[in-house]
Structure 1
Amino acid sequence: MTSPIRLAPGETAPDFTLPTDTGGTLSLKELRGRKVILYAYPAAMTPGCTKQACDFRDSLASLQAAGYEVVGISPDPPEKLAAFRERDAITFPLVADTDRSVLTAYGAYGEKQSYGRTVTGVIRSTFVIDEEGRIERALYNVKATGHVAKLRRDLGLD
């Protein structure tokens, strides 16, 4: 497998319609007119992913006040996402990309380095999408801890 594609500012964000943690579906089209922070994480209920989700949860009110919607995306099935939401009181949508097609389209699935080895998996990434559905920021290989605080600073929210 080759390195994944990388999205750049100004490109149209790949559209999607995916099942959610609450049993419905969510499409990027539904969020047009609002700014979206779409973040990709490897696996629900793991330590790093829990830390990141809780950081987004704890910052959600201020992000929403600044006009941002937050959506988490992982290859986990909706049932696992529902358990994650319940366990950690996640208050924003989590979407299931079980075939990894959307993660791949965003460049958030592919070869990555893990503990000095090359593996294939989810590349922890965050995408800021503008009101028209264009990529404003594409951040790859982000750290779970401290990422939300850095993102808030970069967006001028601190």
Structure 2
Amino acid sequence: MKSDSQNPYFAVSNRLICAVTVAAVLFVWNSSSVQAQVSGLNPGDPAPDFSAVNHEGEKWEASDHFGEILVVFFFPAAMTGGCTDQACSFRDHYAELRELGASVVGISGDRVENLDLFRRANNLNYPLLSDSDGSIAEAFGVPVREGGTFTIEVEGEEKELTREVTTDRWTFIIDEDGNIAYVDSDVDVSVDSEVVIAAIKEMKSG
């Protein structure tokens, strides 16, 4: 009787297994490559030089802030629970961030009037930018999906808020040289500002 190694069916099976294994490895490698291409900017990458309309309807340019540390946080929708918690956290820690030489800007797909209401309702002390076509988010590699409309009551009055696009919640730090220094694509809204402050302190000490 022939051993398995001498059996032609065994040899064919081995070749098939090898071919399938190689194909699987190539698939995983290619999938990883694609994931790397769509996963956004990484530390060390040059930051996009972007501009947008702020909550007051005025043009805001990132280049005016290069040379200092700039915290950029993308949030899905103004006047919603998690976004309010995150925005207010940056408000409460803004003085400490300024002491560290950092400015803050929040970005969403909301219309300007939504951002103005959001800022006034929560006494936010930094600018909010309207990325109504999602182009800024895409430049940073932040996933963008369809927008939406919802109604909320503010001071006894119903307001209908429409956003053109909805971005995922990502936070970036841009260093004084205009490069990405920090990326968080899995943001915890309750501690985002504190994590950012810790990261800036580490940047300065390193």
Per the shorter chain, which TM-score range? 0.7 to 0.9
Q: Identify the match of residue 124 of structure 1 among 146, 151, 169.
A: 169
Query: 1:95/1:121 Cα in 2 relative to 1: closer, same or farther (>3 Å)?
Result: closer
What's 1:152 paired with? Answer: 197
Q: Identify the match of residue 99 of structure 1 among 133, 137, 152.
A: 133
C-alpha distance in 1, partners of 2:143/2:58?
Answer: 24
Identity %: 35
What's 2:95 paired with? Answer: 61
Task: Mark the runs of 5 or more structure 2 residues left unpaired by the alignment.
Answer: 1-33, 146-164
C-alpha distance in 2, partners of 1:144/1:84?
Answer: 16
2:43 aligned with 1:12: no
Matches within 5 A, 1:66-105: 66-105=100-139
C-alpha distance in 1, partners of 2:186/2:61?
Answer: 24
Higher helix share: 2
- Tell me if structure 1 keeps the 8 A contact 2:77–2:166: no
2:72 aligned with 1:38: yes
The count of corresponding residues between Structure 1 and Structure 2 is 148
Q: Identify the match of residue 84 of structure 2 among 50, 71, 77.
A: 50
Task: Mark the runs of 5 or more structure 1 residues left unpaired by the alignment.
Answer: 112-119
Pair member with larger Rg = 2
Q: Identify the match of residue 179 of structure 2 among 113, 134, 145.
A: 134
What's 2:26 paired with? Answer: none
- Tell me if structure 1 keeps the 8 A contact 2:91–2:126: yes
Give the deviation of 1:134 after TM superposition: 0.6
CA RMSD of aligned residues (A): 1.8
Higher relative contact order (CA 8 A, sep 6+): 1
What's 1:115 paired with? Answer: none
Give the deviation of 1:153 after TM superposition: 2.5
Give the deviation of 1:110 after TM superposition: 3.9
**1:68-105 superposed Cα distances (whole Å, 9 cap, x missing partner):** 00000000011100000110001101000000011011
- Tell me if structure 2 keeps the 8 A contact 1:5–1:106: no
C-alpha distance in 1, partners of 2:82/2:125?
Answer: 18
C-alpha distance in 1, partners of 2:67/2:194?
Answer: 25
C-alpha distance in 2, partners of 1:122/1:37?
Answer: 17
Please, which moves more after superposition, 147-156 or 37-46?
147-156
Query: 1:105/1:21 Cα in 2 relative to 1: closer, same or farther (>3 Å)?
Result: same
Query: 1:20/1:121 Cα in 2 relative to 1: closer, same or farther (>3 Å)?
Result: closer
**1:92-135 superposed Cα distances (whole Å, 9 cap, x missing partner):** 01000000011011111247xxxxxxxx9422111100112110
TM-score (norm 2): 0.67
Moved over 6 A (4+): none
**1:31-83 superposed Cα distances (whole Å, 9 cap, x missing partner):** 01111000000000000000000000000000001000000000001110000
